[in-house]
Amino acid sequence: MAKPLLSSDTIFDEALRILAEQGAAGLTIRTLATQLRCSNSTLYQQVGSVEQLTRGVVAHAFSRLEIAFDDDAVWEIAVQSWCLALRGALLAQPELCKLMTVADRGVVIDYAERLLVVLERDGFSRARAIEIGGILAHVTLSMSLSDIAAPGEWDDPRVFATTVRWLIHGMALTRAEELLGGARSDPPATTR
Widest distance between CA atoms in the chain: 78
What is the residue-level pLDDT of the chain in tens, covering all 192 positions?
445 678 889 999 999 999 999 999 999 999 999 999 999 998 988 888 989 999 999 999 988 888 899 999 999 999 999 999 999 999 999 999 989 887 888 888 888 999 999 999 999 999 999 999 999 999 999 899 888 888 776 678 889 999 999 999 999 998 888 888 754 545 555 554
Q: How is domain 8-63 classified at the CATH fold level?
A: Arc Repressor Mutant, subunit A (1.10.10)
* Residues in contact with 144: Cβ distance below 8 Å, sequence separation at least 6, in sequence order: 86, 87, 90, 91, 97, 160
Domain range list for the chain: 8-63, 67-179
pTM of structure: 0.81
* CATH annotation of 67-179: 1.10.357
| Interaxial angle between packed helices 75-91 and 109-121, expressed in degrees from 0 to 180 and rounded to the nearest 10 | 170
Question: What's the N-to-C CA distance of the chain in angstroms?
Answer: 78
